[in-house]
Amino acid sequence: MEREKMREVHELKCELTATYKLTTPLFMAGAEQTAAELRAPSVKGALRFWYRAAALARLGDWHKVREEEQRIFGSTGTGQGRFLLSVTGKGLSEPEIFDFRRDRAGIAYLGYGLREAQRKYFKPGAEITVRLLFRPDSGEVVIAPVKKALIALGLFGGLGARARNGLGSVALTSLKLDGVEEWQNPQNEKELQERIAAFVHGLAPLPAELPEYTAFSGRSRIVVAGMGRDAVELLDGIGRKMMAYRRDIKGDSALIRKFLNRGDIGTHPRRVAFGLPHNYFFRADRAKAEVKADRRERRAGPLFIHIHSLAGGQYAAVLALLPAVFLPAEEKIQISGSGRNKNVPCLVDYEVVNNFMQEFPNRLEVVL
């Protein structure tokens, strides 16, 4: 079996190597959820996500995206994909439990649930290298979409738990095809803004309508939201701002309070636009309420927070709003509490998230 594997690797031709800098705490685990482990399947899963996000503009249809994804990445129906993937970490810290008590209210908010689960993490600063060996007949038609996924991961994404909330952010620092460098990491926030714009323009024409799933579209919005010399502090600041913003969304708490008192409710809170489920707790009488999708329960948020590493020890925060159809047409949102359950129509307004992005006065807008 090992000999066959070696022969298979020997026959592979093109090699794509992406190197990332880990900029924020990484919570990645395998079967043992409280441990920390750098895992190739998890990285491949992240690449599949960003492949799908970028491929819709080119292919124009979810079914075509899925078909191509299965052919390139592999599936139970199509068999092995077009490449072998390996992941190595350089300078990874010994896994330890993150101290959420160190005045990190914003990180605790963005990493909701990780403290209670006692999850271990890797400290920022390590170098993560992803190596892909393609089959000889793969060609540009296979390699180019994967390259876009590697770049998207390094401009907008992260790895592990709460990656959408900025934890496990990985900044692309090098991308080589057969040893030839194809990427220069931005030196400052202006260059980062330009590099992001060039990437998104390379996906054009973007679909004008709201996508069926999370993908780049004409409805997307991306900003470089701010700079800092400490990546974790920068992320913590975004978490604090989001916590305050969501708490103060006009009418949401009053709406739930009214439901708990009288069972009277005809719509859902506006903050649903940040994802589901979310909970309410009223300290005065310890009353609780939960808001979720009535069948699927969960719906990931449309906002991606990413902390990018620049020259001179600087970091920049990137906020990417990738709106999509929030829930299937027939699905409603369920509100429960005080022994009551009520389903209301899903009327999500992404303007709520857009307004949050306005909270960063020095932001650089990426023109899509």
Given a contact cutoff of 8 angstroms between Cβ atoms, the answer to whether 24 and 124 are in contact is: yes
> Is residue 136 located within the same domain as residue 271?
no
Going by pLDDT thresholds of 50, 70 and 90, the confidence category of residue 1 is very low
Phi–psi pair at 279, nearest 5 degrees: -120, 160
How far is the C-alpha of 323 from the C-alpha of 301, rounded, in Å? 9
Residue 202 located in a structural domain: no
pLDDT in tens, 190-208: 999 999 999 999 998 999 9
Element (H, E) at 79: strand 79-80
Give me the DSSP letters along 253-316: HHHHHHHHHH---SS--GGGGG-B-EEEEETTTTEEEEEEETTTB-B--SEEEEEEE-GGG-EE
Phi–psi pair at 360, nearest 5 degrees: -105, 95
Predicted pLDDT of residue 30:
85
In terms of C-beta density within 10 A (0-12 exposed, 13-18 middle, 19 or more buried), how is residue 101 classed?
Answer: exposed
Number of domains the chain is built from: 2
> Is residue 168 located within the same domain as residue 290?
no
Residue 133 located in a structural domain: yes
> Is residue 154 located within the same domain as residue 239?
no
Residue 356 located in a structural domain: yes
Task: Report the range of poorest mean pLDDT among 16-20, 109-113, 304-308, 324-328.
Answer: 109-113
Task: Report the range of poorest mean pLDDT among 142-156, 213-227, 244-258, 350-364.
Answer: 244-258
Residue 134 located in a structural domain: yes
> Is residue 240 located within the same domain as residue 170?
no
Boundary-marking domain end, from 183, 203, 221:
183
pTM over 0.85: yes
Boundary-marking domain end, from 162, 183, 204:
183
> Is residue 242 located within the same domain as residue 158?
no
Boundary-marking domain end, from 148, 183, 218:
183
Predicted pLDDT of residue 79:
87
SS3 16: strand
Beta strand residue intervals within 191-270, DSSP E: 221-228
Query: In the beta sheet, which residues pair with residue 132?
Result: 16, 85
Question: pLDDT over 70 for what percent of the chain?
Answer: 97
Average pLDDT, rounded, for the chain: 93
How far is the C-alpha of 185 from the C-alpha of 312, rounded, in Å? 12
Residue 206 located in a structural domain: no
> Is residue 105 located within the same domain as residue 23?
yes
pLDDT in tens, 39-76: 999 999 999 999 999 999 999 999 999 999 999 999 98
Rounded mean pLDDT, 7-30: 84
> Is residue 148 located within the same domain as residue 283?
no
In terms of C-beta density within 10 A (0-12 exposed, 13-18 middle, 19 or more buried), how is residue 206 classed?
Answer: middle
How far is the C-alpha of 365 from the C-alpha of 368, rounded, in Å? 9
> Is residue 149 located within the same domain as residue 47?
yes
Residue 224 located in a structural domain: no
Residue 213 located in a structural domain: no
> Is residue 152 located within the same domain as residue 273?
no
> Is residue 103 located within the same domain as residue 165?
yes
Domain hosting 24: range is 1-183
Residue 191 located in a structural domain: no
pLDDT in tens, 225-267: 999 999 999 999 999 999 999 998 989 999 999 999 999 899 9
Predicted pLDDT of residue 2:
53
How far is the C-alpha of 257 from the C-alpha of 281, rounded, in Å? 10
Predicted pLDDT of residue 108:
93
Q: How many residues does the chain have?
A: 368
